[in-house]
Amino acid sequence: MSTNGKSDTPSLLTRFLRLRRGPWENLATVIIAVGTFMLMQPFFLELFTYSFVTILTGTVMFIIVSHFPE
Q: Which residues bind other proteins (CB under 8 A)?
A: 25, 28-29, 32-33, 35-36, 39-42, 45, 48-52, 55-56, 58-59, 62-63
The nearer residue to other proteins, 16 or 62, going by C-beta atoms, is 62
d(CA 34, CA 27): 11
State the nearest-atom distance from the C-beta of 14 to other proteins, in Å: 22
The nearer residue to other proteins, 12 or 33, going by C-beta atoms, is 33
The nearer residue to other proteins, 16 or 48, going by C-beta atoms, is 48
DSSP of 3-69: TTS--SSPPHHHHHHTT-HHHHHHHHHHHHHHHHHHHH-SS-HHHHHTHHHHHHHHHHHHHHHTTS-
